[in-house]
Structure 1
Amino acid sequence: MILRQAGRAATVLALAAATLTMSGAVGTAVAGADTPAGGRLNLTQQTPWVSPGQSFQLRLSVSSALPRTRLGVAVTVFDKLTSRSALSQTLQGRSVGVLRAFAPTAVSALPAGPAGEVTVTIPVVSSPPQPPVPPGGESLDLGSCAGGCGGVYPVQVELRDQAGNRVLDRFTTHLVFVGTPSTGTKLGFTWILPAHARPALAPDGRRSLPPDQSRQLAELAGSLARHETVPVTLAPTAETMQALADSARVTDHQTLAALAAVAADPTQQVLTGPYVPVSLPGLADLGLADQATAQLTRGVQVLGATLHAQPNPHTLAMGSPIGQGDLAPLRSQGVDHLVVPDTSLASSGSKLTLTQPFQVAGAQSGLPLVTASDSGLAAHFTRGGDQVLAAHQLLADLAEIYFEQPGSSQPRAVAVETPLDWPASSALLNAALDGLAQSPIVQPLTLSSLDASIPAVGSSGTPVVRQLASQGDETRVPVASLRTAQRRLASFSTVVANDPRLLGEIGDVLLTGQSSDLRPSEQTRYMSGAQAQISAQLSKLTLAQDRTITLTSRTGRIPITVISQTDYTVHAVLSVASDKLSFPNGSSQVLALDRRDNPEYFDVSARASGDFPLSVSLVSPNGDLVLLNSRFTVRSTATSAVAIVLSVGAGAFLLGWWGRSLIIRRRERNRRLVRTGH
């Protein structure tokens, strides 16, 4: 980024002759594999706040294939910024007036640390001149500005190939000069830090936290542990905390313990919220208010079990814009304090940053109270790039907000909610928390402390009221698939007698499938996954393989054996049906299957002999879920009494007929013999 050099603004800074002061030993530059053509320059540390009597130091990492004797570092200081939009322009490479361009200094002449990083020191002279300027050196005079020199000054740092007279790499940071300590209040700053990862719970119910997300969570926890005196507001995702608790990694359990220590610290704050990131009013708009309640209930339950966090479902950090119509569903959930992106607000026409909580126009009883999350501050959390530089740009942005009304007697505060998709970086976290810990103009606050110390009233004592935008972001959830899976799960709950382990595992899949982290196709897979888990449980129930039952008398008892391979008691209703059989004592039985083999008997009466089909079904107690459905064959070999009488009668008749016929034939033969004898 090249910033055009311009004349010095007469009302800003004076320059005294001096040189860049350096200290330390010379190190060796190493060209990394990802070093751009020529070289790379990164910020590893800098002075976050410069008070009278202090110097401004930059510690730089220099990577280049060129020898250090050929490399140089040039520093340019620009005019004091007058607004946050001007600060944004410097980050986008737009020109501002140049205050002072320091001559390049050879990298080989700069003091270097053990890792090869070099240090650049610029003495800042105030009135009286402090610290002393070395003879022949250069310094920055911040003691003779009209209206005061306190403010934010862009500083461009370039890595140059001095032999080739070309710029190899550059970045822009900021010098924050606080000037004479103010008697007014500091700017309050609430930093809402999510402890979040994309869903670790898969549609099939298995839970696995990817290594990169495990590392990022560990970096977050480690940075918070090292800065326990800096108040922050932790916003953990319940599903992520459950993934840490269920993980086989030792480091994940250490991460969870460190986050639990934050939750236990009375100087810190932990926000409870839904099980996964969702828009609660968006769910209500889709007719899923019950799921909004389920998300909050499960979120509070898991955070209580993993972090021992005190439940506070009345305060929510929304993370995405909301509209005026979203307030009623949130109030119905008992929410009385919201943190929403400032992009949710209709323009007020003011050029100043909103630094107070406010009421929403048209809200009943002034509730909920709303704190805006500053989107400009959130923009500093980027993926990749120089994270230490991003941290100091964040601090400079906070300073610029302070200098909008420096030393104001009216308490002011801003909040930022770190984006959920920001990969936590210890480099940014440590640099920013270090700066906040020693800031003379910014006071870190938890969200509850902000509420207690910053009134939602203006300077005139009247309430601050803002209008929300017409509508929030659209919520996408596969409603039909979700409702189908819910109904099946409700029926399955009667089978397992509301076993919390089984229902919790499948219910978590349904809740996770509503996450805003997921694409619609991914959400649908979660709904199907919940159904598949229920089917997997039902597949553990079978019937005995012998499907032919022989009945040797007209009445009898037939056995139906249900085989259960579950580790829990199955509650169900077993029913039989046949057109050729009757069941004197009923065709259904309520069962509690608590062992592997479960023979059940039905009294039966056959209406005829032969082979008859028998339908067998095992259903949930509420009758809505079929667990098993099969067909048996009943073979009746019994003969009825009427048939026996008829058979005996027919036999007797035949015997009589045969006997009579035999007698007649014998008489006829005897008569023929008598005639022949005569």
Structure 2
Amino acid sequence: MALLALVGTSFTPLAPAASAQENPKLTFLSLPPFLNINTSAQVTFSLSGVAGYGGLEAFFLVYPIIPSRSTFQNISQGGGLGYPLLIGQPVPLQQLSNGGGSYTLPVDIASNSNSQGVPVLPNCQGGCDGIYPIAIRIVESSNSQVVVQRSVPLAILSGASINYPLDVTPIISLSPRASAGTFRDLVSVLNSNYNLSLSVAMDGKALGNLPGTTPDKQALLAVSNWSASPNHQLLVTSYLPILPGCLRGLSGPGSLKQQIASSPPPGKVASQGIQSPVFFVDNQPTPADLKALAGLGYSDVVLPDTSYPNGLPLTLTSPVGEVAGKSTALIADPGISADLRIRDSSLASTTAISDLGQVYFDLPNSQATRVVPLVFSVANATNVSELSKFLKKLALAPFLRTQTASYALTRTPVPNDRVGVELSKSHQCNLPSSLHKAQGALAALESTKPPLSVLAPIRVDLLSSEGTIYTKRERETLSKLAITGAIGAMDNFTIVKGQAITLTSKNASIPISLLSKLDYPITLVVSISSDKLSFSKGSSQQITMAHSSITASFLASTKSLGDFPLLVTVKTPSGLVLQSAILDVRSDSFSLVGIVLSSGSLLILIIWWIRSPKKRRGKVDQSEPVGETEEMVPSEDQETTHAALSDRPLGETE
């Protein structure tokens, strides 16, 4: 039975013995990052589903070296381990007890025969470095019946020199839903691993969740100091995860540019010769997303493991260039991502280190510059604890070396052959139908120059309405909240309407009063208009409403007497009309110009009427008298005239 149990085992537990309780489970509590030949190590574990530890023994087994990463992945998915190369000495479980249900088993491996009885790893004299499955097995001492077994891949090092370790780019992504406590814990982990080269992506929303307590401010200062180191980098992010291509063409509030401006700035990495910042893409992008980012100068990007190129081997050890025409991308390794998602945190971190070790041992001591990016997501305190375990083991592994994302993008050669990065063909943007109205309302509010404490929460609602972490319905609600908040932050005043404004002189001052219910100052524009008035100094004034009431005065000149309406409009400096009202104006005075013009017209009319009868009488005197006519006798002159006009020749008579 014992011999049969040695064959065909995998990383998964073996079937329990019939005498044990149902569903026995072995959980790793502490694992070393690797094993050194001729150096003792320890594995701590717990047992559940077992009826006490009486009559039980524990020992370790070493299975054959894993030859490639594809075999590593196959074993991780339940493939067989083969026959063990080495079996440790069984130890009564009672002797291993730490109390509280945990046990610690020594793991000693020798390269040569020895008098201490330490098991020897075969064929290790010429070098046996590599990744091996190591199993912990619990058996019944009476019949060697297997109760439970669990295995983990571990690097075994014989002491051979490692001159060219594998470059690893750990990218830590803080969830936008992370609490303030999670953020502070993460900062503590970063400072505890200060010597590691790390890149961190912090969405603006994650930092916006901070309540602003003294510990929060200290943590923010610590992040700022941390990012100033050349081997640390803050990646560029948006305020929260978005689809950049969906915001292409938007300007002002809610634009892609403002989404990015509302996130933490990139860290200082100038000493490494970085010419452009690196953008962390949360979602699997489309070509339009990458083009939108490149249009703003972000052509170096980190992509999630869902963008890993189809048809490539399991390991991509260089950036991918010419993505969507303009971008160069680091793509998170999907295998490491899967390792880090193992629920058993100690097993997860050790498996990830061993998986990276497998990449190294595929080409040990290779002088070629190779880099493996990985993304570690942090959303809660458990994730922070898992990250801490992983980074501590990463720091100890001599075959691995950490680098920042910018280092990987600028120092690692980009393949000449174009690699087909897995991009989404299109996105359902699902932007709120009221987004443009919300943009206009926020732009209007910004033009009034309110305090940041008033502006910030409304800006958060607008930016959040574009985030992919919310449903379409939630986005619509957030957009409408931005509209309501922006209008309410401005339109909280009254135009005073009293008795009619009376103008008693040709030039008079018209007072327009506003009563404010706001407890902060804002800038507004007051305008008046009437076709019965002219305004020599303008009909609009920009005012700052800093108190409960304010009066704007306009110098006006009347054009006519009587009562007429005056339109009063209050709007933002950007032009959004907030309120309007009609006031009554009564004018009791003409202007001098009006009097002169009217008097001149009247004088001309009077003169015309005075002269008009004389002209009529003159025409009557010059006409013929009515009565008997006289017979006209031609004079000598008349006769001469007629003779002169005769057709006869001179000297002739009748």
Which TM bucket (shorter chain)? 0.7 to 0.9
Q: Distance in 2 between matches of 1:197 and 1:331?
A: 24
1:239 matched to which residue of 2? 205
Give 1:58 shift: 0.5
Compute the TM-score of the two structures, normalised by the length of structure 1: 0.71
1:80 counterpart (41, 46, 65): 65
Are the aligned partners of 1:125 and 1:143 in contact in 2 as well (CA < 8 Å)? no
Q: Distance in 2 between matches of 1:226 and 1:242?
A: 24
Q: Deviations for 1:258-295, whole angstroms, at most 9, x for unmatched residues?
A: 33332132332222332323343443388999822222
Q: Call closer, same or farther: CA 1:40–1:257 in 2, change over 3 Å.
A: farther
The reply to whether residue 44 of structure 1 matches residue 29 of structure 2 is yes
Q: Deviations for 1:437-496, whole angstroms, at most 9, x for unmatched residues?
A: 221211122223334553335xxxxx3532334535626351542222112222333333
Q: Deviations for 1:488-535, whole angstroms, at most 9, x for unmatched residues?
A: 222333333x87665555334322332232222222222222212212
SS at match of 1:418: strand
Amino acid at match of 2:336: L
What CA RMSD, in Å, does the superposition of the two structures yield over aligned residues?
A: 4.3
1:321 counterpart (268, 272, 284): 284
1:277 matched to which residue of 2? 241
Q: Distance in 2 between matches of 1:229 and 1:573?
A: 56
The reply to whether residue 347 of structure 1 matches residue 271 of structure 2 is no
Identity of aligned residues (%): 22
1:481 matched to which residue of 2? 434
The reply to whether residue 263 of structure 1 matches residue 263 of structure 2 is no
The reply to whether residue 296 of structure 1 matches residue 255 of structure 2 is no
Q: Distance in 1 between matches of 2:371 and 2:518?
A: 57
Q: Distance in 1 between matches of 2:6 and 2:155?
A: 21
Q: Call closer, same or farther: CA 1:59–1:420 in 2, change over 3 Å.
A: closer
Compute the TM-score of the two structures, normalised by the length of structure 2: 0.73
Q: Call closer, same or farther: CA 1:75–1:183 in 2, change over 3 Å.
A: closer
1:506 matched to which residue of 2? 458
2:476 matched to which residue of 1? 524
The reply to whether residue 562 of structure 1 matches residue 527 of structure 2 is no
Are the aligned partners of 1:77 and 1:153 in contact in 2 as well (CA < 8 Å)? yes
Q: Distance in 2 between matches of 1:424 and 1:125?
A: 37
Amino acid at match of 1:540: N
User: Number of aligned pairs?
Assistant: 566
Q: Distance in 1 between matches of 2:427 and 2:194?
A: 38
Q: Distance in 1 between matches of 2:82 and 2:249?
A: 51
Q: Distance in 2 between matches of 1:283 and 1:420?
A: 27
The reply to whether residue 378 of structure 1 matches residue 340 of structure 2 is no
Q: Greater Rg, structure 1 or structure 2?
A: 2
The reply to whether residue 122 of structure 1 matches residue 107 of structure 2 is yes
1:229 matched to which residue of 2? 195
Amino acid at match of 1:262: W
1:460 matched to which residue of 2? none
Are the aligned partners of 2:203 and 2:264 in contact in 1 as well (CA < 8 Å)? no
Matches of residues 51-62 of structure 1 in structure 2 within 5 Å?
Answer: 51-62=36-47
Q: Deviations for 1:544-582, whole angstroms, at most 9, x for unmatched residues?
A: 4xx45146789887754201243554333334578xx94
Amino acid at match of 2:499: I
Q: Answer with 76-85 or 286-295: which moved more.
A: 286-295
2:298 matched to which residue of 1? 335
Q: Distance in 2 between matches of 1:143 and 1:188?
A: 30
Give 1:120 shift: 0.7
The reply to whether residue 549 of structure 1 matches residue 512 of structure 2 is no
Give 1:376 shift: 1.3
Amino acid at match of 1:403: F
Are the aligned partners of 2:154 and 2:350 in contact in 1 as well (CA < 8 Å)? no
Q: Distance in 1 between matches of 2:32 and 2:444?
A: 63
SS at match of 2:335: helix
Q: Call closer, same or farther: CA 1:77–1:427 in 2, change over 3 Å.
A: farther
2:630 matched to which residue of 1? none
Amino acid at match of 1:371: L
Are the aligned partners of 1:296 and 1:313 in contact in 2 as well (CA < 8 Å)? no
Q: Deviations for 1:398-435, whole angstroms, at most 9, x for unmatched residues?
A: 11111222232323221112246576634322322222
Give 1:101 shift: 6.3
Give 1:390 shift: 0.9
Give 1:230 shift: 2.0
SS at match of 2:514: strand
Q: Deviations for 1:26-83, whole angstroms, at most 9, x for unmatched residues?
A: xxxxxxxxxx987754322222112222234201244679544466546454333233
Give 1:165 shift: 10
Matches of residues 109-148 of structure 1 in structure 2 within 5 Å?
Answer: 109-112=95-98, 117-126=102-111, 128-129=112-113, 132=114, 134-135=116-117, 139=119, 141-144=120-123
Q: Distance in 2 between matches of 1:594 and 1:361?
A: 53
Q: Distance in 1 between matches of 2:541 and 2:148?
A: 78
Give 1:183 shift: 5.3
Amino acid at match of 2:495: L
Are the aligned partners of 1:549 and 1:635 in contact in 2 as well (CA < 8 Å)? no
Matches of residues 463-474 of structure 1 in structure 2 within 5 Å?
Answer: 463=416, 465-469=418-422, 471=424, 474=427
Give 1:396 shift: 1.3
Give 1:109 shift: 1.6
Q: Distance in 2 between matches of 1:554 and 1:4?
A: 115
2:541 matched to which residue of 1? 590
Q: Distance in 1 between matches of 2:278 and 2:242?
A: 15
SS at match of 1:425: helix
